[in-house]
Every structure is written in C-alpha cells, then in structure tokens.
Chain A
Amino acid sequence: MPVYALKPNYKGERMDRVENFGGNLIVYFGWDEHRMFCAAKAFPLPPSTPFAAVMENVLPEAFGQHPEFSQINWDTAEWLLNNEPFKPQMNATLESQGIDHKSLIRFKTPELKGYASAGV
C-alpha cells in the first residue's frame, strides 16, 4: 500500500523532483569514519560538472576544515557511489559516470584514522 488515505488513488506531491532545483542535481558527499562532520553534506551541482571540479572545489569546501584533509592520499581512497564501488573519472561529467539526482558519494581514507585516531 503506497499510502493509507480516505479516498482511493491518492498521490503525494514529490517535493524534491530534480526539476525543482533549477537545473542542478543534489549530490551528497560523506567522508567515512570522520565524525568531525556530523553527517554527509548536500550540494546542488550542474550535471555537467566534471569530477575534477568536485575534487578542486566541492570536497575542500565540505571537508577542508579537517586537519587530515590535506594529507589524503587520493590514490588509495576507496569510493562508493550509491553503495556500489566506484572509480571517479576526473575528466568525465557527473552525469556521464552515473551520478544522478540525490546520489550519495562516500569515500574512505584507510590510512587516516581521524583526530586522536578516534574516528573524529
């Protein structure tokens, strides 16, 4: 049952359809086991954004306050796109590598254990 309603065929208005974001996609980014940031962060990005721009602008904006951010070895970072292993293509756009509206991108940095090695 998609909803329990007084009348049959009730449909809810989808509040966050991609069309509502003025041409942007919402993409979430999370740094695993770094609790200094309480949750993953949301960004509105044009689908034509190359991943290189994410590396250059979005991630430093999101996570640059962490003392370990500058030490990240991106060659060993492990990525997940919507729970599936993922290898970002720097020169390809978000859209062309399967990053769609409300995608969640997570990365793990195995050699960095967080502030005081406590996952912070």
Chain B
Amino acid sequence: MAAKKLNIKDKYRLLTRDLDWDFSYEDRKDAFPYEEFEGLKITDWDKWEDPFRLTMDTYWKYQAEKEKKLYAIFDAFSQNDGHLNVSDPRYVNAIKLFLTGVSPLEYQAYQGFAHVGRQCGGVGARVACQMQALDELRHVQTQIHAMSHYNKFFDGLQEFSHQHDRVWYLSVPKSFFLDARSAGPFEFMVAIGFSFEYVLTNLLFVPFMSGAAHNGDMATVTFGFSAQSDEARHMTLGLEVIKFFLEQHEDNLPIVQKWIDKWFWRGTRLLSIVAMMMDYMLPNKVMSWKEAWEVYFEDAGGSLFKDLARYGIRMPKYSEVIEKEKEHVSHQAWWTFYTHGHATGFHTFIPSDEELDWLSEKYPDTFDKYYRPLWEMAKEKEAKGERFYTTGLPQLCQTCQIPMLFTEMDNPNQNSMRDTVYKGERYHFCSDGCCDIFEEEPEKYVQSWLPVHQIFQGNCGGPEMTDILSEYYKINVGADNMDMKGSPDEERWNKWKGTA
C-alpha cells in the first residue's frame, strides 16, 4: 500500500507538538529556569504556531538544496576569477567590513537562538528557534567561504575573527549582540527575532545585496540571497513571537513595547554602518540609504506597526528622530571612518565627483549644505599632499559604543551629546535613545568594554598607536589601512587590469 502523504498541518502537528512531553516527576520550572524573571506572562504555549508549518525533514531537504546551489556558484566564481569582475576595487572594502563586522554576528545569532531554543517552554517555539540557530550557523559558514576567495587577492580579510573581538569600530556590532544574548530569552526574541530580523536585516541583505549584484560580485549576492531565503522564515518567527506574547496576557504589552523601543533604537544605530556601505562603499549605486530606509523601515515597518496597533503597540520611541536622521547618518559615518582611515582594517577614500553629484541628487536637503563641504576640504588637503587623518581618539557612547558622531536634528552642525550620573560616575551618550537604555539598566551598561577607554587603561598594548594597530588588532599596517589611493590593493588591481 502506498504511504498516504500527510498534509502540512497534520505533519506539523505530528513532528512538532506531538514530540513534546509533560513533566511528571521534575518541576517544570527547573527545566525552564529563564522563563519568568523578565516578567512576561505565558499561559498557554500550545497557542504557538509556525505559519510556515515547517518540519525538520522538510527543513533539511530544502536547506541541502540551497547549499548545493550556493556552492556551485562559489566554485564557478573562483574558477573564473570572479574577483576581477567587480566594478571597482574600492568595492572590496565593503566586503572587508561585512566579514569583520557582520559575519561574526551570524555566529552570535546562532549562539543566541541555540540558547533561547533550549529555554522556551513551548515546543513550537523551540523547534523554530532550533531551525533558526542552524540557519545562522550556515550563514556564517557560507559567508566565510564566499569571502575566502577575496582573501587570496586583497588585504584586510585575514584576521576577521580576531579583529571582531578587538577593533574599535567592531565593538559596536559585537556589543549589540552581546547585549541581546545576555538578556533573557524573551527579550532576545524581541531584540533579534523581531526588531532586528523583521525590519533591519532587510536593509542589510536586500538593497545591499542587490547592490553587490550591481557591482559584479556574484559570490556575495548569492550568499546574501541564500541567507535571506532563511530570513523570510526568521521574520515570520519574529512577528509570531510578538503576536504570541501580546495575546498571552495584557500585562505583556508594556514590557514588549519597552523592548521594541530599545531594540529599534539599538538597531538604527548599528545600521549607520550599513548606511555608509550603501551610500559610499558601493561604486555602482542601486538606491540611496534614504530610499532604502523609506521602503523597508517607513513603508514596510509602518504597515507592520499599523497591524500591531490592534494589540496596543505603537511605533518605536524616537521614530521622529530616526526619520530625520536618514538624511544624515551615512555621511556622518563615512566621514568618521575616512578621518580615522589610519586605524581601520579597510581602505577609505573621497567619493568621486560623480558620486558627490549623485549624493547631492539623492539628498537635496542636506548633502550640499552639510556634507559636500567636508569633502571639498578633504580634497583640498589631499591635493596639497596632506591627506586628512584626525589625531587622538574619539569620545564613545556608553550604550551603542559608536563615536559621538551624530548631530542634533534641529542643528545638524552640532554633535548630539547626553550624559547621566550613576553611583557617582558620569556616563556619556550619543542620543536620548541610548541614554534611556542605560538608565533602564545601568548595572548592565557600566560594563561596556569601550575600546578608547581600554586603550587608555593600557589593556590593548601600545602606548604607540601603530603597536596597538599591528599587535593588538592585527591590522597589517601600511597594507590594510590608510587611503585606497596608493594602497597595495589598488596597485595589484591596476596590474591585473593592465592599467599600471
């Protein structure tokens, strides 16, 4: 007799819910010790359902197929010297930043979901988290594989893992995930599963990856979209998590709203790096950061929050500030990296004249007024043989750990600075958003490992800057850092292209 094919709903029930068991001789609270301390009330885990109704057998089948496709493209890419097809060697600097700053977050996401998957009391959520953990592990692995090809030909990719733990600007993404992972399981789900996956990873993986395609980088667009095919499931998990929490108990609303407020703010700060990658590091442009923000945050996020309004959820706090900042952050971030280009593990550069004009066109209200003059000054200095590298070390925000580079939206010429005193010690913040987060949990954020302060405490070697860069950060000084102009990367590229 031929086996009857189960329909999706029955299969999901059998392979998920029915695998669970009750606790007869152990206390359920000992099995799930993290479930209560955050204050969320869960009364019935059975109400949880994955709308994709994906079961483990189907999961393996499709993931295997995705990997097969992906590795076929990686092989073709390296066999055909795919790196020679990128639009411009400057592009590869975006890849360096991706490998050092983003790929290790995939690994942290894996660690986080593996932990949370164990700690959720409901089996549906546990299985979904387990799949997501495996996805994230796949993401970090495929990204390393894809970018290993570039490592054979370009500087700055060889120490990504070491650097993620040490380099000043990489403490920003690293600490973002450590913050989420050291929270309880439900805050983690709202932080990463909902806030990060639902709205923010779209901005990273969709327009940026489309940009990679537009710049001839088939390896990156392929891993990007392959990872993103899992992301649709992650986004859905995130949205289901939120709805589930809110449906479980009315007391959950203020807690969930507080987490949404916090993590949207943390996320927008983190994405300043992606903003500058889009606007400054992709030589062939697809869309500006501002346009991407409008599509994925304002339109998509707007619809999402309208939908969630039926539970009493409102737009994240400081959304009105976020809306104004889309005109500014990419420029402020790239200027910061450009002026600290002696201390970065990738090359920085002045945008070309065409790029400056593109920026003027995309940012008619802000670029010519505030940001073009920075580049005019930089060009003047460069022409005199005085490429501008700023001296000293910047003040950092205690919460997001970004240099205090953001400005007041009612006076974009002035840096935005906030502070608060806790137990007799003063702490500084880039914004009200970051200050609020600290004040909610100061005992957490007094522990921030701020790279600038760590240097001054003598914990990073030195005291000479070049020793810190080369010995502690393992930046290959003179090759990995400094301007694109005159770099070994540029020289090799010109030789390959016969333009030397």
A101 to B373, CA, bound (A): 35
A3:B452 contact, CB within 8 angstroms: no
Task: Give chain B residues whose Cβ lies under 8 Å from the Cβ of A101.
Answer: 425-426
B391 lies within 8 A of chain A by Cβ: yes
A58's nearest neighbour on chain B, judged by CB, is B392
B358 lies within 8 A of chain A by Cβ: no
Interface string of A71-98 (1 = CB under 8 A from B): 0000000000011000000000000000
B443 lies within 8 A of chain A by Cβ: yes
Contacts A4-B441, A5-B37, A15-B450; A36 near B374 (Cβ below 8 A): yes
Task: Give chain A residues whose Cβ lies under 8 Å from the Cβ of B20.
Answer: none
B196 lies within 8 A of chain A by Cβ: no
Indicate which residue in A16, A24, A114 contacts B450 across the interface (CB closer than 8 Å).
Answer: A16
A15:B339 contact, CB within 8 angstroms: no
B493 lies within 8 A of chain A by Cβ: no
Contacts A5-B37, A16-B453, A103-B426; A116 near B376 (Cβ below 8 A): yes
Contacts A4-B38, A26-B453, A30-B415; A15 near B448 (Cβ below 8 A): yes
Minimum CB–CB distance from A80 to chain B (whole Å) comes to 10
B312 lies within 8 A of chain A by Cβ: no
Task: Give chain A residues whose Cβ lies under 8 Å from the Cβ of B336.
Answer: 38-39
Minimum CB–CB distance from A69 to chain B (whole Å) comes to 12
Task: Give chain B residues whose Cβ lies under 8 Å from the Cβ of A13.
Answer: 446-447
15 inter-chain pairs at a CB distance below 8 angstroms, sorted by A residue, are A1-B441, A2-B443, A4-B37, A4-B38, A6-B33, A13-B447, A15-B448, A15-B449, A16-B450, A16-B453, A22-B458, A26-B453, A42-B394, A65-B391, A118-B413
Task: Give chain A residues whose Cβ lies under 8 Å from the Cβ of B458.
Answer: 22
A38:B425 contact, CB within 8 angstroms: no
Interface string of A97-120 (1 = CB under 8 A from B): 000111110100000001110111
| 432-480 of chain B: CB within 8 A of chain A | 440-450, 452-453, 456-458
Minimum CB–CB distance from A30 to chain B (whole Å) comes to 7
A37 to B394, CA, bound (A): 9
Task: Give chain B residues whose Cβ lies under 8 Å from the Cβ of A82.
Answer: 419, 426
A119:B370 contact, CB within 8 angstroms: yes
Task: Give chain B residues whose Cβ lies under 8 Å from the Cβ of A64.
Answer: 391
Which B residues are closer than 8 A to A by beta carbons? Answer: 33-34, 37-39, 183-184, 187, 332, 335-336, 339-340, 369-370, 373-374, 376-377, 388, 390-396, 403-405, 407, 411-415, 417, 419, 423, 425-428, 440-450, 452-453, 456-458
A38:B457 contact, CB within 8 angstroms: no
Task: Give chain B residues whose Cβ lies under 8 Å from the Cβ of A26.
Answer: 453, 456
A20 lies within 8 A of chain B by Cβ: yes
A28 to B450, CA, bound (A): 14
A62's nearest neighbour on chain B, judged by CB, is B392
A33 to B441, CA, bound (A): 32
A40 to B417, CA, bound (A): 9
A38:B443 contact, CB within 8 angstroms: no
Task: Give chain A residues whose Cβ lies under 8 Å from the Cβ of B340.
Answer: 38
| Contacts A6-B37, A36-B339, A118-B413 supplied; 16 other A-B pairs, CB < 8 Å | A2-B442, A4-B38, A4-B183, A5-B443, A13-B446, A14-B425, A22-B457, A22-B458, A28-B395, A28-B428, A36-B374, A39-B394, A39-B395, A40-B395, A61-B392, A82-B426
Which A residues are closer than 8 A to B by beta carbons? Answer: 1-6, 10-17, 20-22, 24, 26, 28, 30, 32-33, 35-44, 61-62, 64-65, 82-83, 100-104, 106, 114-116, 118-120
Contacts A4-B37, A102-B425; A119 near B446 (Cβ below 8 A): no
B445's nearest neighbour on chain A, judged by CB, is A12
Task: Give chain B residues whose Cβ lies under 8 Å from the Cβ of A44.
Answer: 456
B446:A15 contact, CB within 8 angstroms: yes
Task: Give chain B residues whose Cβ lies under 8 Å from the Cβ of A15.
Answer: 446-450, 453
Contacts A3-B441, A40-B404, A104-B419; A14 near B446 (Cβ below 8 A): yes
Nearest 8 Cβ contacts at the A-B interface = A119-B413, A3-B443, A118-B373, A39-B394, A38-B336, A12-B443, A39-B404, A41-B392
A116 to B413, CA, bound (A): 13
Task: Give chain A residues whose Cβ lies under 8 Å from the Cβ of B34.
Answer: 6
A102 to B424, CA, bound (A): 11
A41:B446 contact, CB within 8 angstroms: no
Minimum CB–CB distance from B50 to chain A (whole Å) comes to 28
A17:B443 contact, CB within 8 angstroms: no
Indicate which residue in B374, B392, B404 contacts A43 across the interface (CB closer than 8 Å).
Answer: B392
A1, A5, A39 interface centre (most CB from chain B within 10 Å): A39
B392:A12 contact, CB within 8 angstroms: no
Task: Give chain A residues whose Cβ lies under 8 Å from the Cβ of B412.
Answer: 119
A111 to B184, CA, bound (A): 52
Task: Give chain A residues whose Cβ lies under 8 Å from the Cβ of B447.
Answer: 12-15
Minimum CB–CB distance from B275 to chain A (whole Å) comes to 15
A110 to B443, CA, bound (A): 40
B440's nearest neighbour on chain A, judged by CB, is A1
A83:B419 contact, CB within 8 angstroms: yes
A17 to B41, CA, bound (A): 38
